[in-house]
Amino acid sequence: MKQHLDDRPLPFPTLSAALAHWAAATPGNPALTAGPEELTYAQLSERVFRCMAWLAEQGVKPGNRVVIVGHNTIAWVVHYLAVLSLGAMIAPANNRLNATQFADQVDLLEAVLVLADDAHSEIASHVPAERVRRLSDDNQSPATAGFPSPDPRSPALISFTSGTTGKPKGATLTQEALAEASWAFVRVLGTHQDDSTLVVVPMFHNTGFVDQFGHMLLLGARTDLLYKFSTKESVAALSARPVTYLAAVPSIIRLIMLADGADKALASVRVLLYGGSPMPGAWIDELLAKWPNLRPFHGYGMTEYGSAVSFLTPEYARDYGESVGFPVPGTSIRIVGEDGVDVAPGAVGELWVQGPTMMQGYWRQPELTASKIHEGWLRTGDLARVDDGLYYIEGRVDDVINRGGEKVLPAHVEAVLAGLESVGQSCVFAVPDPILQNRVWAAIEERPGQAFDQDAARESMRSGLPDYAVPERIEVLNPLPRTASGKIDRRAVAARVQGLAAQGLARQA
């Protein structure tokens, strides 16, 4: 098997070069919108140039680190592009960090400037005030002098991968790697200048600034910004200003497709990209039945690789929906066992990846970098297998549930749960046990208008799973806790269910 790819080469070595080109070639075309406000490419370029002058007045120089935190606004995008265009390094921050975690990241970077919007002033409260500036449209100065173009080989972006917990890990990408990562979506999705997208995820996430905005910028296409995700606001924005391309995790797509007004909201969407987890086959069938012109793509990626590692194209979506598809052009993949040797086809091992969008390393953490990069290969930490050219992610190395010596992959159990009519979404996790090492528990989010019956669910699951993999406890959590990007937060789910169980409140199957 193989996928059909667009062979258009990367047209610009940096995002800054793309902006300059489109501002000259198509100055009146819409580039960026947020609610009623719209900027053409000429207007966006002018605003970025004036913001560069303002940043230079603040002392920002090439190679400096600048942290940005805020909701999805035009000001966020303008400052992001201005920092890149100066040859400095931008670090988009998770806006769900607490003040201590945020300060730790700023200290690790030795950032010369922190940009925070009004809604996130508290998150920067532990950073010295002289290093903090308000993220605002007012950060503009007369651009009286030109600026040199950034070197495509210079470091441009530091993206943190630890989420809301754990030690900060800043993956560093070059200007060119960032452009290559964005162009990968063009090569696979076949998008063009007349396409458009709405960013419903936080802009600090790769899906926002690579998969969508960077992708559209390289094409000279339009990006719409949703200030902050809610199902109602997403549907309203999609209905008011139709787009052809939408990207999100399956949980967000599921919320939109089940919402009132979904028919109109998704009517114009031609390309649907989902990632973070597979889309259950039942959901794919439902999407295609309601919107037959929609082309669903499953993307698998990671921050340390710029974003996309592989794609499953629409022709395989129905029959191979659990697969993450084929490697991105220019990307090489290995499946490696615990002994460091490639496993046999069909066997499960750790997925290793190599290619032009790979990070240089973790910012000023050489030991951590050495544990992640082995002889030029990036160790993803994901368990995978390959079957007839198609790759399948079987879970995280550290998520595998060892129940009395039997290995249980949460993704397998979640796929079975997804086939139950009453289940909207699910999360399977391990609970420590002194005898078995781990037990299998789960939590589900009910589908609107449906009631979940645990006894019936477990009985149904026995036909698709070995008995040791059927969850011993299934708790209904409406809604399931999610990360800032919309993915189900497995750690938070486990903590909440175990907390309820300790209080004697969790339902036992």
What are the structural domains of the chain? 15-387 (3.40.50.12780), 401-502 (3.30.300.30)
Burial status of residue 434 (CB atoms within 10 A of its CB: 0-12, 13-18, 19 or more): exposed
d(CA 386, CA 226): 37
Tracing tokens 């605002």 back to the chain, one arrives at 136
Residue 53 host element (H or E): helix 41-57
What is the DSSP-derived secondary structure letter of residue 212? I
Contacts of 396 (CB under 8 A, 6+ apart): 381, 382, 383
- Closest to 213 (Cα-Cα) out of 9, 27, 39: 39
Strands (E), 41-85: 65-69
- Please say whether the beta carbons of 435 and 424 come within 8 A: no
Within 10 Å of residue 55's Cβ, how many Cβ atoms? 26
pLDDT in tens, the chain (509 residues): 666 667 778 999 999 999 999 999 999 999 999 999 999 999 999 999 999 999 999 999 999 999 999 999 999 999 999 999 999 999 999 988 889 889 999 999 999 999 999 999 999 999 999 999 999 999 999 977 678 899 999 999 999 985 444 567 999 999 999 999 999 999 999 999 999 999 999 999 999 999 999 999 999 999 999 999 999 999 999 999 999 999 998 889 999 999 999 999 999 999 999 988 778 788 889 999 999 999 999 999 999 999 899 999 999 988 888 899 999 989 999 999 989 999 999 999 999 999 999 999 999 999 999 999 999 999 999 999 999 999 998 877 777 788 887 878 888 899 899 899 999 999 999 999 888 889 999 999 999 889 999 999 999 999 888 888 999 999 999 999 987 667 788 889 999 999 888 877 544 44
d(CA 252, CA 231): 8
Tracing tokens 């530091």 back to the chain, one arrives at 158
